């Protein structure tokens, strides 16, 4: 009798351990990341600046405003690292540097703004969004940065139209990625209900000719990407505001068939996460790396810019919704 009771007790204990292990693993795999706000001061906090892209130039973070204001914001990396390491940091006032461009509001019909930025040594590229009578238009412009003053210039002839694959209101190319001697542009709406087979423009540095590269279906928006790492991998912001449902027509989120949804995401239609891609055999694929899910706030945050911060994690930035935010996501890379 005692032996039967002992066997039963051991069986129940084993089941309890398995349940406990499952709970621990579930918590681990669905854990969300809380961003750390990097306080800023100065005109960058004005929502009218609408930050739309981030990239590094040497050890300086360049923050690109969407609007044709004639300047960019620059923050030295050392100031950012100091800010994230201090419990109560002093707000950073970014440098305001000249960004000399043609008056695109006159030369591009329906000019709406800059969408992304990518540096290749002292040369940089920006994507431009416009809307005319025929719908959404996208352009690529390029220029040079002065390595001493950090002032940036684009000449009037440095412009090329890039056709969008489909027409979706306010959707064009929001991300730019340096790959070998080319610039890959990523269209922001790539869901299965919008495009059955996806390719992205691959623009040559040499003569600006355009080829294409395969890309997977991803629901919601792709709003910016990091640089490629040594393994040809990069991270992208994958964002969804429920107000875009009619435009994006999202299908089933296949990422959640492989990964567990975070706690706050289960309670909301909003999606704020980073997903990892890899360029392999001259095509872009989604890796099996679990997405980095942000802990959601009451209001959705329109994350428009991302860079990797050494091996510490990521810096991300919003445009103006719900306000201008620069934040750090700690993540072991």
CA distances from 223 to 52, 84, 135, 200 (A): 9, 24, 20, 14
pLDDT band with cut points at 50, 70 and 90 for residue 31: confident
Determine if the pTM surpasses 0.85. Answer: yes
CA distances from 159 to 108, 127, 128, 142, 284 (A): 10, 10, 10, 7, 26
Looking at 231-327, list the stretches that DSSP marks H as alpha helix, in order from N- to C-terminal side.
Answer: 245-248, 263-266
Burial of 88 (0-12, 13-18, 19+ CB in 10 A): exposed
- The pLDDT value recorded for residue 30 is 54
Cα distance between residue 105 and residue 132, in whole Å: 12
- The pLDDT value recorded for residue 27 is 45
Q: Does residue 140 register a pLDDT over 60?
A: yes
pLDDT band with cut points at 50, 70 and 90 for residue 297: very high
92 within 8 A of 75, measured Cβ to Cβ = yes
In degrees and rounded to multiples of 5, residue 10 shows phi and psi of: -65, -35
* Biggest alpha carbon–alpha carbon distance for the chain: 92
Whose CA is closest to 228, among 176, 189, 271? 176
Residue 38 makes CB contacts below 8 A (sequence gap 6+) with: 80, 83, 84, 89, 92, 315, 326, 327, 328
Across residues 83-108, what is the average pLDDT?
Answer: 96
Looking at the chain, list the stretches that DSSP marks H as alpha helix, in order from N- to C-terminal side.
Answer: 2-29, 77-85, 104-107, 245-248, 263-266
Hey, where are the domains in the chain?
A: 31-330
- The pLDDT value recorded for residue 25 is 46
Q: For the domain 31-330, what is the CATH code?
A: 2.115.10
Cα distance between residue 89 and residue 101, in whole Å: 35
């Amino acid at each position: 009798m005692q032996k039967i009771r002992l066997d039963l007790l051991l069986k129940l204990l084993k089941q309890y351990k398995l349940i406990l292990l499952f709970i621990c693993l579930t918590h681990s795999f669905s854990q969300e990341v809380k961003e750390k706000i990097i306080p800023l001061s100065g005109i960058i906090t004005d929502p009218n600046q609408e930050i739309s892209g981030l990239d590094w130039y040497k050890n300086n973070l360049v923050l690109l405003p969407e609007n044709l204001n004639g300047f960019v914001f620059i923050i030295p990396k050392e100031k950012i690292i100091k800010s994230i390491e201090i419990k109560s940091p002093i707000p950073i006032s970014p440098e305001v540097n000249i960004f000399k461009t043609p008056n695109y509001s006159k030369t591009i019909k329906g000019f709406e703004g800059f969408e992304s930025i990518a540096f290749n040594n002292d040369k940089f590229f920006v994507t431009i969004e416009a809307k005319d009578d025929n719908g959404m238009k996208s352009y690529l412009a390029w220029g040079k940065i002065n390595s001493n003053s950090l002032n940036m210039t684009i000449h009037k002839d440095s412009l090329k139209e890039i056709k969008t694959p489909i027409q979706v209101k306010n959707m064009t190319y929001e991300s730019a990625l340096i790959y070998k001697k080319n610039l890959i542009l990523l269209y922001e709406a790539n869901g299965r209900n919008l495009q059955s087979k996806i390719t992205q423009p691959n623009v040559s540095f040499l003569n600006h000719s355009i080829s294409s590269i395969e890309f997977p279906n991803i629901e919601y928006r792709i709003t910016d990407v990091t640089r490629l790492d040594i393994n040809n991998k990069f991270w992208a912001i994958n964002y969804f505001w429920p107000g875009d449902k009619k435009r994006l027509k999202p299908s089933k989120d296949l990422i959640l068939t492989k990964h567990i949804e975070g706690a706050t995401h289960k309670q909301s239609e909003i999606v704020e996460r980073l997903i990892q891609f890899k360029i392999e055999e001259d095509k872009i694929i989604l890796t099996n790396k679990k997405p980095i899910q942000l802990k959601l706030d009451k209001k959705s945050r329109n994350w428009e810019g991302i860079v990797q911060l050494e091996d510490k994690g990521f810096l991300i930035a919003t445009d103006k919704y719900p306000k201008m935010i620069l934040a750090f996501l700690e993540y072991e890379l």
